[in-house]
A and B are shown apart, each in its own frame.
Chain A
Amino acid sequence: MSQRVRRRYLALRVLSEQPINKRDVEDAVWNAVLQLFGESGASQANLTFIEYNSEKSWGIVRCSHKALEMVRASVASVTEINGKPVAIDVLGVSGTLKALRKRMLLQSKAMT
């Protein structure tokens, strides 16, 4: 019997002067994982981009729960995209998409 895969969902916010499209953010995160942990590490991360809103500059990625620290470190190590300085912050981590969306909604309400 195979064990159920445990996943983690991370809410990301991209801080930059200009809006950045999904493809560029995806490439930057993948490159960061590859640079820090190599191909073997990247294959264990099971990294998937669930959604990205380029207007609001935030998105959600999914990874294996064992690779959470690895993905978080990689995301934090991104300093530029297309030669422009950026910072990617992890706003929250959750085991389910529903809980993460709920938390992000509460956070954005608290900020406004």
Chain B
Amino acid sequence: MRRFVDLHLQPSVNDSDQVERMVSRSYELGYRLVGIPLPPNVTRDEVSQLKGICKDVGIDLVTRVGLTSKTPGQLLHELRRLRRRFEIISVVCTSKAVARQAAKDRRVDLLSFSVTSSRGRFFDHAEAELASRASSSLEVDVAPLLSPKGFSRIRLLSTLRKEIAIAKKFGVPVTISSGATDLYLIRGPYDCATLASLFGMATPIALRALSETPLTIVERNREKLSPDFVAPGIRLVGRKKDCPNA
């Protein structure tokens, strides 16, 4: 059975009631792993409190931070500072220079783009080529598709269709997330998959973008963040205290 993942649930982190309601609804709809964006200066206590709420509901929490750096230099600085503290790092690309830097950096997991302006989306052929080499994933949120009507939705669907085609051509993995800021914007995984068909993603591929693709990113990062990780393919199996004869 598929394990569905929503890497972008956006409750107000300080409001534990809202977090619980949104996480419960996600669980009810079939998600088993959710990612909640946290502020960079979040404390360990706050994270463990959130993990406790999610554990009570029966869902696994992934810590995530969204970087909105203005320059490539600032992005590099933030990546150095935050990579070891969060399981998922997404970069909201606000300029072309930042988008290019994020796409070629292996520490970036998800590339997000502005949904309000089509000029703020920099996912073109060059970006896709860099992202495919660095194995970063393109993140598409479903919630921004629900609210606008008329021309703004037409424009967004058209842009997403182009981006998905480019991502497919260059083999860039795509992750579909809810991007929900309240309870009423969360949709079930199969509903998200049918909404993805509006911008040209076939349902089986969309379902993969809601399960296997984000799950692979989380598992890869959890392995890297574990204290036993040495290098890709090499991990510590025992320490001095485990080998009494040594």
Contacts and interface: CB of A to CB of B under 8 A. Distances in A.
Given A69-B203, A79-B146, A79-B147, A86 B184 contact: yes
Interface string B170-186: 00000000000011111
Interface string A58-80: 00000000000100110111010
By size class, the interface of chain A is 10 to 19
B80 interface: no
Interface in B147-201: 147, 149, 182-188, 190-192, 194-195, 197-198
B76 interface: no
A89 interface: yes
B137 to A, nearest CB: 23
B145 interface: yes
B191 A89 contact: yes
Given A79-B147, A85-B184, A73 B190 contact: no
Given A69-B197, A89-B29, A75 B191 contact: yes
B197 A87 contact: no
Interface residues of B, number: 21
Contacts of A77: 145-146, 195
A24 B199 CA distance: 28
A69 B184 CA distance: 21
Given A15-B25, A87-B187, 9 more contacts: A15-B183, A69-B194, A72-B190, A73-B195, A73-B198, A79-B185, A87-B183, A87-B186, A89-B187
Interface of B: 25, 29, 145-147, 149, 182-188, 190-192, 194-195, 197-198, 203
22 contacts: A15-B183, A15-B184, A35-B149, A69-B194, A69-B197, A72-B190, A72-B191, A72-B194, A73-B191, A76-B146, A76-B192, A76-B194, A76-B195, A77-B145, A77-B195, A79-B147, A79-B184, A79-B185, A85-B184, A87-B185, A89-B188, A90-B188
